[in-house]
Chain A
Amino acid sequence: MLKIVACFKWVVDDADIRVDAGSNKLNLDRAAYKISPYDRNAIEEAVVLQEKHGGSVVAMTVAPPGAKPCLKDSLSRGPDSACFINDPCCADLEPSQTVEILARAISAKTDYDLIICGEGSGDIYAQQVGPALAEKLGIPCVTWVNKLSFNEDERRIIAERKLEDGIEVVSAPLPALVVVLPDINSPRIPTLKQVLGAAKKPVENVTPQDLGSIPSPRLLTTDVVAATMDRRRIKLAADADGIREAVNALLREGLVS
């Protein structure tokens, strides 16, 4: 039996983002929202473990009230219930605030064995919430996980970590937090009965104020603009001189040394 919390974020669908040609600002007027793709892997892994070992899965998110459609969407993917921490002030939280709110909610409301987070959010991809949440809760954290299992006898998780220089297998006692990589699983597509059944699953509504004051942001966002790639339009010949010229240009720019 495992009591699992799967954290997810409701993010703008990047396919709908338009960039204003003049100002380079992002136009989100017609953008739809979706569960962050990386967090779908977290939800899926939680459900897979629950199907194998029993227990329960709570899908938890911090978002403004307008994110309500995320509840049925997440619940159609398998969790038993959802915890919706919502308030208008929860739009555009920075990771340190999200961590603080999640940590309080999990400590106060939820009895858990395992927390699963995605690799990073689909919008700002700061990759901070998972590790910082584990630190805040004082529990072991295993990141870059692409294979996860649970030893029922020892009540430990065994995780395969995909690192730059190889694979590392680690185990950790519960409670623990795991950050999963996208290739750990292929998230299921909700069946029609799962979609229709989502409405019948319980949702706990929590406001951050229920959990204490919302921490102040530590970052100041001054602007958000689209990344641009300015081409130099330099033509080089495909011969020794051209290659030499290309290498020299890269050296001058400090791009190679």
Chain B
Amino acid sequence: MDFNLTEEHKLIRQSVQEFCDKYVCPIADAVDQEPRFPAETIKRLAEQDWLGIPYPVEYGGAGSDYLSYIIVLEELSRACATTGFTLECHTSLAEYPLFKFGTEEQKQKYLVPLCKGEMLGSFALTEPGAGTDAAAGTSSAVLDGNEWVLNGSKIFISNAPVAGVIVVFAMTDKSKGTKGISAFIVPAGTPGLQIGKHLNKMGIRGSLTAEVFLKDCRIPKENLLGGEGQGFKIAMMTLDGGRIGIAAQALGIAQAALDESIKYSKERVQFGKPIATLQAIQWMLANMATEVQASRFLTYHAAWCCDQGLPYSSQAAMAKLFASETASRQTDRAVQVHGGIGYIKGTKVERLYRDAKITEIYEGTSEVMRMVIAGGLLR
């Protein structure tokens, strides 16, 4: 068993760290506090070939593996969770279903510009009454001649305000439950597609999240993604991969919390010596480092399974469950190590504390992750 990353993976990590030092870290506080979407950074991500990392070169991607993508997400999130998540949503939630289920024509039309960074992608599954219970969705799609007519409303849709294309899920046959859900490609600007106001979130505040309204929104018949009734399968497979991405985001946040805690505990002097010399602090740091490393192994292993073509649903769920809860625990510890200053806006750990929580919620809550893992065990 070889735990070493390849030279390429190490270089990718190094290049992302250089990128973050130069472009991401200097604006991360402003992105959080104003808050604002880091559009200039996203443009640069495209220049670095990071907007389609695991997809083939012929579709505009970088032709790399999933682990490369995970490393990029981890390092970006370590610097700025908003930036990491914007990339994750684009790559895992919008590009993946197009790559996996799209026709050649759909890939050329939508996946290529997404991978090249000519536009961002979004994914619209959640509804006000249908979060974890996707089958409770009420958005509908009816075929009318050569067009699908979509109606309904979606909520918590990340990237929607800046997306060039949204993968939308809607019921084509309500009587069939999950087997009545279908996926559709809805380009921005389609009449009847309205983006609601940006939601004011606790963390990842620069990421744009909004409601999406569909009012007699007509799209060409050929914009059905996969077959009719395949939407639930597309959504679940998409979220399986996405969970590795969220695990990487959580890992980056947790690593940043550890970095900040080590640095601060060496600088902060109490009782005439740095607090890092106190066993109370050392134990916190030791626990943090152990859980961060365990998160990394779970996350990289899930990505490795994905790269090897092995089943990875349970591995992804375990990685997301552990890494996201680690991020929440360790950012809490990081604020504790910092004491009062950790509670003040502008201190990085204060931002990390708020950014961490969402990783336990989106793309499947911790409770759903446990259901997925248990389902795999008891199958």
Contacts and interface: CB of A to CB of B under 8 A. Distances in A.
A72 B8 contact: yes
Contact of B18 (A69, A72, A189, A192): A189
Contacts of B11: 72-73, 76, 190, 195, 198
A69 B64 contact: no
A195 B48 CA distance: 10
Interface string A103-125: 00000000000000000000000
A191 interface: yes
Interface in A161-204: 189-193, 195-196, 198-199
Contact of B48 (A189, A196, A198): A189
Nearest to A195: B11
Contacts of B7: 69, 72, 199
Contacts of A196: 8, 62-64
B19 interface: yes
B19 A192 contact: no
Contacts of A72: 7-8, 11
A73 B68 CA distance: 16
Give the interface residue-count category, chain A: 10 to 19
Identify whether the interface residues of A are mostly helix, strand, loop, or mixed: helix
Contacts of A193: 49, 62-63
Contact of A191 (B10, B47, B68): B47
A192 B64 CA distance: 8
Give the interface residue-count category, chain B: 20 to 34
Interface string B45-64: 00111100100000000111
A98 B53 CA distance: 40
B22 A189 contact: yes
A195 B47 CA distance: 13
A69 B13 CA distance: 14
Nearest to B12: A195
A19 B139 CA distance: 64
A189 B11 CA distance: 11
Contacts of B50: 192
Interface of A: 34, 69, 72-73, 76, 189-193, 195-196, 198-199
Interface of B: 7-8, 10-12, 14-15, 18-19, 22, 47-50, 53, 62-64, 68, 72
The 5 closest A-B pairs by CB, nearest first: A192-B49, A192-B62, A191-B49, A195-B11, A189-B18
26 contacts: A34-B14, A69-B7, A69-B10, A72-B7, A72-B11, A76-B15, A189-B15, A189-B22, A189-B48, A190-B11, A191-B47, A191-B48, A192-B15, A192-B48, A192-B49, A192-B53, A192-B64, A192-B72, A193-B49, A193-B62, A195-B8, A195-B12, A195-B15, A196-B8, A198-B11, A199-B7
